[in-house]
């Protein structure tokens, strides 16, 4: 296996030096700044930024960097085995991943799925790239075979308050909040309830106006059909640093709340303005993820047992743990497996970036992904397939 730096160099040659340099230049512009939106873009494009960090430093120095380098080595090794048309398909996918809103995550998920199943003793063929098959991978072990379809699902699809819109609202409010806080030193908590949620930029100017009007008029509350605002003193004990403060706020408001902390650039020490926002109903992240399963089954032939492998994007460690601990992912997957649309599916697999970048890290799912076997499938008890399909929960 090549060193991490060699794997990165080989991958960039595969993607194209010019295309990579152009993408890095774009990302430097997009992620510049200290606002939440810029930080969110840094997280979205973490894979590309980690690749460049390995290239610059000459070696992987962290767990996520080593994980990325191993997956890049998998992609480079696969490219060498593909026929000419397969290599063109891979380059097309790389071009898409390195332009517009694309990321490397889908290709890294595919590489991680192949690598995981090879470690379980399966021979892995990249039939989607090599043969333009509807499914992505073909697994074989002890004379048995399975098809694997991979896809990405965004947790945003199940949120009533979209994180991207929340970040944009906070960035819009922050300069005015800093000025207000400098003139009104203290510790404040603004609770914001959005009965119909927040999805799209159209509502942001009015929400901005409403918050600042309430503060200027020194009102403790403001209510209409779109938003309920309530300003209270912040009674949470002072925290030593931002990480401890965030942990305390998360414990108080739960994993579904959107949180933001504003401090004056200069002024009274200890002044804080915390915003905590929620929708008027519970999120349905697991339900939204399960909606991806049915269209994925259309990529399976039905002649062989099928696996659906879904990487869940736009979720953080806290939310991912909550979805697992509350069995929401399991419940949605098992509900899907009871329906007729799951007749081709022997197993559903789910993972997040935590497993993709840090398999074996604290809090990551066992074996790098969650697995839910379909007990109704004829191949459910096939011993040759067991390593890939036995439920992890």
CA dihedral in degrees (124, 130, 131, 137; nearest 10)? Answer: 30
Q: Helix 63-81 vs helix 46-57: angle between axes, to the nearest 10 degrees?
A: 90
pLDDT, residue 360, reads 62
Distances (CA, A) of 355 to 98, 283, 332, 373: 22, 23, 20, 19
* Of residues 90, 71, 92, 74, the one with CA closest to residue 82: 90
- The strand pairing partners of 272, in sequence order, are 187
Asked if 329 and 370 touch (Cβ cutoff 8 Å), the reply is: yes
What is the full per-residue pLDDT of the chain (393 aa) written as tens digits? Answer: 789 999 999 999 999 999 999 999 999 988 888 889 999 999 999 999 999 999 999 999 999 999 999 999 999 999 999 999 999 999 999 999 999 999 999 999 999 999 999 999 999 999 999 999 999 999 999 999 999 999 999 999 999 999 999 999 999 999 999 999 989 999 999 999 999 899 888 999 999 999 999 999 888 888 888 899 999 998 876 555 666 777 788 888 888 999 999 988 775 567 889 999 999 899 999 999 999 999 999 999 999 999 999 999 999 888 999 999 999 999 999 999 999 999 999 999 999 999 999 766 777 888 889 999 999 999 999 999 999 999 998
In angstroms, the CA 251 to CA 143 distance is: 50
pLDDT, residue 81, reads 96
In angstroms, the CA 334 to CA 337 distance is: 5
- CB atoms closer than 10 angstroms to residue 302: 11
DSSP secondary structure letter of residue 220: S
In angstroms, the CA 47 to CA 100 distance is: 15
Asked if 270 and 243 touch (Cβ cutoff 8 Å), the reply is: no
**Structure tokens belonging to residue 272:** 């804080």
- CB atoms closer than 10 angstroms to residue 309: 25
* Of residues 114, 107, 117, 152, the one with CA closest to residue 292: 152
**How far is C-alpha 158 from the chain's CA centre?**
13
pLDDT, residue 260, reads 93
In angstroms, the CA 341 to CA 205 distance is: 43
- The strand pairing partners of 66, in sequence order, are none
């Amino acid at each position: 296996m090549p060193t991490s730096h060699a794997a990165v160099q080989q991958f960039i040659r595969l993607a194209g030096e010019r295309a990579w340099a152009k993408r890095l230049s774009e990302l430097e512009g997009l992620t510049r700044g200290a606002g939440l939106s810029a930080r969110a873009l840094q997280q979205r494009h973490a894979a590309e930024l980690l690749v460049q960090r390995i290239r610059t430093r000459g070696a992987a120095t962290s767990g996520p960097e080593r994980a990325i380098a191993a997956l890049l080595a998998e992609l480079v090794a696969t490219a060498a085995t593909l026929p000419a048309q397969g290599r063109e398909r891979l380059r097309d996918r790389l071009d898409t991943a390195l332009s517009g809103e694309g990321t490397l995550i889908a290709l890294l998920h595919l590489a991680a799925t192949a690598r995981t199943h090879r470690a379980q003793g399966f021979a892995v063929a990249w039939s989607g790239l090599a043969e333009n098959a509807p499914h992505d991978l073909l697994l074989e072990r002890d004379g048995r075979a399975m098809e694997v379809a991979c896809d990405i699902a965004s947790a945003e699809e199940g949120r009533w308050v979209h994180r991207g819109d929340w970040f944009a609202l906070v960035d819009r409010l922050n300069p005015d909040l800093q000025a207000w806080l400098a003139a009104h030193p203290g510790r404040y908590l603004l609770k914001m309830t959005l009965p119909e949620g927040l999805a799209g930029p159209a509502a942001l100017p009015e929400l901005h106006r409403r918050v600042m009007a309430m503060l200027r008029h020194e009102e403790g509350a403001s209510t209409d059909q779109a938003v309920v605002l309530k300003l209270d003193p912040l009674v949470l004990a002072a925290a030593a640093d931002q990480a401890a403060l965030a942990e305390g706020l998360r414990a108080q408001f739960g994993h579904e709340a959107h949180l933001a902390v504003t401090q004056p650039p200069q002024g009274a020490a200890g002044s804080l303005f915390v915003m905590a926002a929620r929708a008027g109903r519970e999120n349905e992240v697991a339900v939204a993820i399960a909606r991806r399963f049915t269209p994925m089954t259309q990529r399976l032939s039905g002649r062989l047992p099928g696996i659906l492998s879904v990487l869940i994007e736009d979720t953080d460690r806290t939310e991912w743990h909550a979805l697992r601990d509350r069995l929401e992912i399991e419940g949605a997957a098992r509900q899907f497996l009871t329906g007729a649309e799951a007749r081709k599916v022997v197993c559903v697999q789910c993972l997040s970036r935590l497993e993709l970048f840090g398999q074996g890290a604290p809090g990551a799912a066992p074996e790098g992904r969650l697995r839910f076997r379909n007990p109704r499938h004829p191949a459910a008890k096939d011993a040759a397939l067991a390593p890939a399909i036995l439920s992890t929960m």
